[in-house]
Amino acid sequence: MPRRHLHVTGAAQAPLRAALAALRTALDVPPQFPADVLAEAERAAAAPRLPAHDATGVEFFTIDPPTSTDLDQAMHLERRPGGGYRVHYAIADVAAFVTPGGTLDAEAHRRVTTLYFPDEKTPLHPALLSEGAASLLPDQPRPALLWQIDLDADGAITATDVRRALVRSRAKLDYEGVQRQIDAGTAPESLALLRDIGTLREQQEVARGGISLNVPEQEIVEHDHRYDLTYRAPLPADGWNAQISLLTGIAGAQLMLAYGTGILRTLPSAPDGAVARLRRSAKALHIDWPHHVPYAAVVRSLDPREPNHAAFLQECTTLLRGAGYTVFTGHAEPQLAVHAAVAAPYTHCTAPLRRLVDRYAGELCLAAVAGQDPPDWVAAALEGLPKEMAAGTSRANTVERECVDIVEAALLKDRVGEVFEATVVDVKEQQPAVGTVHLTDPAVVARIEGGDRPLPLGERLRVRLTQADPGTTKILFAPA
């Protein structure tokens, strides 16, 4: 699901790094792995539990940001002789390295997720595993959970299998390069099929009533010896790649529901009040949203390269609040089984290097296909996983919010008093002189107050930056 990504290009300013370091301290983010955890990781990296099935002949490739080295997923796509498609999707087999009940396992339960800061990350597992021995780096044999998902000519799932296998990726690709190859018609067939299958899965999503939010990334860029915030709009290849992961999460949920035991990623439908507020934001940003048009249809019509569309897509993420994890056992039908944004049952199973629950979901899917009971260590931990994941996800969300505030303040701290062009995107009902403004340049959304008249909702407004101090105060604007 979408998150506000934040990246630093070039060396960050000292106040920014100091504020981020203070944030890590305040949130009790583990600074490094204990010596016994690193020692166990070294032993595991030297002697992983390797599977019997050899799939190294399949020409897998990965698609990730250029600097990423914690590679969870690799794929190979092909047409089926009788029509339709076959997706081979290899997921890093973390259980081949992590012994249940060991120090690595305990540390992963303490961390729960990888935390991403603009200047560095705090990984779920030691780097010699997550960026080394367990990562699906090119030209290296790796243990993996190998998914085989067959699709018909319309992109609907017809069969699913998952097993342990040894795999070897052939290429580490990035989104821009993938987009160029596909657009130019130079991509090999397995890569070229990403557009065909991704587009079909997007059409399946529309038919289900689901929605993927193409939320622009905020990037910190350096030019003329200063730093600014800009937006990076997702490429079509970003969406096609995401559809393969969503496909696997949906297939995994189907396996679990048929098996009678599992853990789903769930999201209730947004309450009417949240939708009403979003409609008000749409009006403020001049987004056409007729009352008879569903929310999903409006979102699909947006262009994240347009500033007002980008701002609205960010507002749309508020409807994703309330997502959680639902455990079910003994063939008891879970009360909530659907993820409202996916519009289908769905599970997290494709990012075990970065998210704790995925290791367990993968094991449950393996057991479902084999018709066996889940491993004892999975069954014992299952009931407590939703609470663990809720705490870890909450911390990750706090990191995301606070990092945005810190970065904005750090990059604007020398511009207090300057006037900017902005759009008023929200106004407090009981305090009409207080609200939120969206700046296109730099890419900032912030609070505004201090005026003596109601803010003009949806209108352009010149605003003055009144405060920006990384680590102590959030940025604040006032009418100019």
- Model confidence at 285: pLDDT above 50: yes
Q: What is the pLDDT of residues 454-466, one digit of tens each?
A: 998 878 899 999 9
Sign of the alpha-carbon dihedral angle for 395, 376, 353, 333: negative
Within 8 A by CB and 6+ apart from 43, the residues are none
Give the model's pLDDT for residue 222.
Answer: 59
Count of alpha carbons within 13 angstroms of residue 265, beta-carbon side: 25
Three-state SS at 184: helix
Spatial contact of 91 and 362, defined as CB atoms under 8 Å apart: yes
Q: What are the structural domains, with CATH classification, of the chain? A: 6-268+322-411 (no CATH), 416-479 (2.40.50.140)
Spatial contact of 220 and 8, defined as CB atoms under 8 Å apart: yes
Taking the complete model, does pTM exceed 0.85, yes or no? yes
Is 23 or 132 the better-scoring residue by pLDDT?
Answer: 132
Is 5 or 221 the better-scoring residue by pLDDT?
Answer: 221
Least confident residue range of 33-42, 127-136, 264-273, 280-289: 280-289
Q: What is the pLDDT of residues 397-430, one digit of tens each?
A: 888 888 888 888 888 888 999 999 998 878 887 8
Residues above pLDDT 70, as percent of the chain: 94
Q: What is the pLDDT of residues 80-94, one digit of tens each?
A: 998 999 999 999 999
Spatial contact of 346 and 264, defined as CB atoms under 8 Å apart: yes
Q: What does the alpha-carbon distance between residue 266 and residue 431 come to, in Å, rounded to a whole number?
A: 35
Give the model's pLDDT for residue 1.
Answer: 34
pLDDT band of residue 269 (cuts 50, 70, 90) is confident
- Model confidence at 12: pLDDT above 50: no
Output DSSP code: residue 85.
Answer: E
pLDDT band of residue 202 (cuts 50, 70, 90) is very high
Q: What is the pLDDT of residues 245-257, one digit of tens each?
A: 999 999 999 999 9
Q: Using N-to-C axis directions, what is the helix angle for 35-46 and 103-111, rounded to 10°? A: 120
- Model confidence at 479: pLDDT above 90: yes
